[in-house]
Structure 1
C-alpha cells in the first residue's frame, strides 16, 4: 500500500482507490484488478513509437476497466515505506528526460545481453523511481519492458519469471543498487 497525503484518488475515510465498479472493499478491488489486468495483458498492447505517450497507453490498456484515470500521470505525492517517489509536478519532465535518454541509446537495440541487462536495469530503476501513476506502476513497467526488450532483440522468457525476485530487485534498485535487477533481466533474456 502507498503512503499518500490528502488523496483525492481514494474514497473518503479510506485508502481504497475510487474505481469504475465502485468497489469499496480493498480485497475485492485487488482481486478484480488482478483478474482484469491479467486478461488485458493477454491482449495486444498498443503499438507505436517508443515514447511517454506509448507508456501511458500501456497503463491505460491494462487499467482501463478499473480506473477512470488509467493512463494519466498522478497528481498526488506518494511514497512506499516512507520513501517518496517523484513529486507529481516533476513527473512529465522526468519521464520525458528518461525516454529522451532511451532514444539516445537507440532504445537498447544492438547491445550484448550484458549491456542490455545493465542499461535495461537502469531504465527500469529510473522509471520506478518516477512512479508516474497512482497505481499499477509495476505491472505497467514489466509489460512495457517486455515490449522494449522484444523490439531491442532481447525477448524475455516468461517461464521461470519470479515476481517476488523482481520486486526485491526493484526495491533494491530504488536505493541505488541495480546489480540484482541486472541479474534478473540477464536471466530473463532468451539465449
Structure 2
C-alpha cells in the first residue's frame, strides 16, 4: 500500500461516520455526494465526475464523455425493478452482482470508486431489507470477481453477495 492509499484509508475511516443512510430514489448525484463526503478532506475535486479516461490493469473503464449517460441507464434499470425491493435473497444477490459490476465499469471518479460503491450498495441493500457484511471477503477473491464482471460473468460476484447478504 503506498502513502496516498494509506492516507485515503485513514481519512475515509473517520469521514465515513458522517455518511448517513439515504433512501431511494438513487442517482449519480447520490454517488457524487457520497464521494464528496468521503474525500473532501483529501481531494479538491471530491464529488466531481472524472474528466479523463482511466484504466486499471487490462480494464478500460467507461469513457468520461459517457459516464452520465451510462449511469443514468443503470439507475433507470434499478428504478424499474423498484430498487431491488421484494426480491428473495438469491434473486437479490444475482441482481446486486450484476448492477455492482455494471456500475464498477463506469468508475465515475478518478479515485475512491470502490469505497463509494460499497457504501452506495449498503444503502441499496438496506432499502431492500438486507444488510451487507464486507468482513469475510479476501482481496484476491474480490478483485477476481470484479475482473470476471468486466466479462459479464457475474457468478463469482453473486457467490460473494450470497455469502455477505443478511436480512
Name the one with the larger helix percent.
2
Equivalence for 2:161: 185
The within-5 A match list for 1:121-136 is 121-136=97-112
For 1:65, what is the secondary structure of its paired residue? coil
The within-5 A match list for 1:140-151 is 140-151=116-127
The within-5 A match list for 1:1-191 is 27-45=2-20, 47=22, 49-191=25-167
Query: Which protein, 1 or 2, shows the higher relative CO under an 8 Å CA cutoff with sep ≥ 6?
Result: 2
Relative to 1, partners in 2 of residues 1:155 and 1:46: Cα closer, same or farther, differing over 3 Å? closer
The 8 Å contact of residues 172 and 180 in structure 1, kept in 2 or not, is answered as yes
Distance 1:112 1:70 in 2: 36
- Aligned pairs, how many? 166
Distance 2:105 2:4 in 1: 25
The 8 Å contact of residues 101 and 149 in structure 2, kept in 1 or not, is answered as yes
Runs of 4+ in 1 over 4 A off after TM superposition: none
Relative to 1, partners in 2 of residues 1:27 and 1:158: Cα closer, same or farther, differing over 3 Å? closer
CA RMSD in angstroms comes to 1.7
Deviation (angstroms), 1:39: 1.5
For 2:18, what is the secondary structure of its paired residue? coil
Unaligned runs of 5+ in 2: none
